Amino acid sequence: MSVAPSVLDALREIVGADGYFDQPADLQPFTVDHRKLYRGQTPLVLRPSSTEQVSRILRTCNEAGIGVVPVGGNTSYCGGGTPSADGTQVVVSLARMRRIRAVDPDNFTLIAEAGCVLAEVQDAAANVDRLFPLSLGSEGSCQLGGNLSTNAGGTAVLRYGMMRDLVLGLEVVLPDGRVWDGLKPLRKDNTGYDLRDLFIGAEGTLGIITAAACKLFSRPREVVTAIAAVKDPAAAVMSLSRLRAATGDAVTTFELIPRLGIDLVTRHVPNTHDPFDAPYRWYVLVEVSAGRSESGIRDLVEQELFALMEQGAALDAVLAQNEAQREDFWRMRETIPEAQRKEGASIKHDISVTTSELPRFIDEATRLLETITPDSRILPYGHLGDGNLHFNLSEPVGGNAAEFLALAPRIHRAMHDLVAQYGGSFSAEHGIGQLKREELVRYKHPVALEIMRSIKQALDPKGIMNPGKVL
């Protein structure tokens, strides 16, 4: 069943001549996801420029029973923003809603529209000497609405939390077109259910977020960035605890990188090099930030790293001497996904357990993967400070990519069953989308699933919002 021409016309009319795409070449980018796992089809991509237009679009689609797929920067790892293959769903891109509506430095808040690119929100905060701390590899193209809808994480969660922790209020268009104005930038408002948190992480299945009131912070005045080679993941966890205590919780980033990460990045990404003369098995990228300059954190970090080396937990360490070197260190971490892609086929996981259990988990998961696929190369890296690793695999050297990828269902099952044994999460920061729907049914507590379904039914009884995603 395709979308009736009369409905398509009505939708075009709402947004006006420059508010939609309906030609194949313009539609194409919206029909494939970032990882190229899904190929969909759509007759129409709507590009509303106001909340009112979004409201009219949803009202029209709800009345006609047409599925709506909201999309931001299309950087989802789980196909959350890709329409179905049967061409029955329209896409709503928020890209033209990119105003910063208000900035209030004394309240440490700003209000931004969903189509703002994350980097634009960071810049708007920096312009008034404030920090919007959400920080991730795709920040130059991902959009605030997508960050909200997936509850994005990234590399500063350890200190500032995930997207959910950075929001005070939302403006949301409900599936029937009603607009909930919950944009109050208040830190205290104890007036009933927390509706905001329903829409954050809902991946567009309950409505479309059109704007958000975001929390800002003081801008760090002094930042110390280091790469340390560590004995093993247990030494990494211990080092993090020590650094947190020694700096009064000023550690903003603590990322684990195995040797394979350094190998792949230096092989595939220009302008990268091994930070040390000798190879080590495990590394951490550490960043510590202080609110004032000459805060003494540099000395503190140096002392701690020295002490860690004396006790054998750290094997070598280097502090960035300037901004260029700091960027080099960060490139080493941020380009791992790109380097892994260039190395060939990969199988990805996005798991979390408690940080304290992570070392034991890494051992056990590595052994488990080795029994299933002894020749694959295991690349567990990422947000150790959050207990969240991308426990990825790369195809064997000289192996057969198709054979390797055919193992994916078995590998995911084994990995996620193990995660469940640890009381962990099979999707720590990338969400569910269409990729992990079956996992949600298998691993989410049944009562939680029932509550989720009741909420979906209450808000979207006709099931028009991002059909086939999450639930």
Residues that bind ligand 2HG (CB under 6 A): 137, 337, 348, 382, 390, 392
> Of the two residues 337 and 385, which places its CB atom closer to ligand 2HG in the complex?
337
Cβ atoms of residues 107 and 63 within 8 Å: no
Sign of CA dihedral 337, 340, 344, 346: negative
> In this structure, what token pair is assigned to residue 177?
């077109």
Closest alpha carbon to 248 in 288, 285, 210: 288
> Of the two residues 349 and 456, which places its CB atom closer to ligand 2HG in the complex?
349
> Of the two residues 131 and 435, which places its CB atom closer to ligand 2HG in the complex?
435
> Of the two residues 326 and 348, which places its CB atom closer to ligand 2HG in the complex?
348
Phi and psi of 99, rounded to 5°? -85, 140
Q: How far apart are CA 381 and CA 258, in angstroms?
A: 6
> Of the two residues 34 and 47, which places its CB atom closer to ligand 2HG in the complex?
34
* Residues 396-399: contacts with CB under 8 Å, at least 24 apart: 399/375
> Of the two residues 231 and 412, which places its CB atom closer to ligand 2HG in the complex?
412
Residue 218 bridge partners (DSSP):
130
> Of the two residues 168 and 256, which places its CB atom closer to ligand 2HG in the complex?
256
Q: How far apart are CA 407 and CA 391, in angstroms?
A: 15
Distance of CA 387 to the CA centre of its chain: 15
> Of the two residues 60 and 340, which places its CB atom closer to ligand 2HG in the complex?
340
> Of the two residues 390 and 416, which places its CB atom closer to ligand 2HG in the complex?
390
- b vs e for 395-409, b when ≥16 Cβ sit within 10 Å of the residue's Cβ? bbeebeeeebeebee
Write down the least CB distance from residue 137 to ligand 2HG, Å. 5
> Of the two residues 182 and 337, which places its CB atom closer to ligand 2HG in the complex?
337
Write down the least CB distance from residue 351 to ligand 2HG, Å. 11
> In this structure, what token pair is assigned to residue 142?
């991902």
> Of the two residues 152 and 315, which places its CB atom closer to ligand 2HG in the complex?
152
Residue 287 bridge partners (DSSP):
225, 253
Phi and psi of 178, rounded to 5°? -65, 145
With residues binned 3-state (H G I as helix, E B as strand, rest as coil), the percentages for the chain, rounded to 5, are 40, 25, 40
Write down the least CB distance from residue 416 to ligand 2HG, Å. 15
Q: How far apart are CA 229 and CA 257, in angstroms?
A: 9
Write down the least CB distance from residue 31 to ligand 2HG, Å. 22
Q: How far apart are CA 304 and CA 321, in angstroms?
A: 17
Q: What is the DSSP string of 44-87?
A: -EE--SSHHHHHHHHHHHHHHT-EEEEESSS--SS-TT---TTS
> Of the two residues 98 and 383, which places its CB atom closer to ligand 2HG in the complex?
383
- b vs e for 107-140, b when ≥16 Cβ sit within 10 Å of the residue's Cβ? ebbbbbbbbbbbebbbebbeeeebbbbbbbbbbe
Which residue's Cβ has the minimum distance to ligand 2HG? 337
Cβ atoms of residues 288 and 296 within 8 Å: no
Whole-angstrom Cα Rg for the chain: 23
Write down the least CB distance from residue 348 to ligand 2HG, Å. 4
Q: How far apart are CA 194 and CA 191, in angstroms?
A: 8
Outline where 94-182 has alpha helix (H): 118-126, 144-149, 157-160
Write down the least CB distance from residue 382 to ligand 2HG, Å. 5
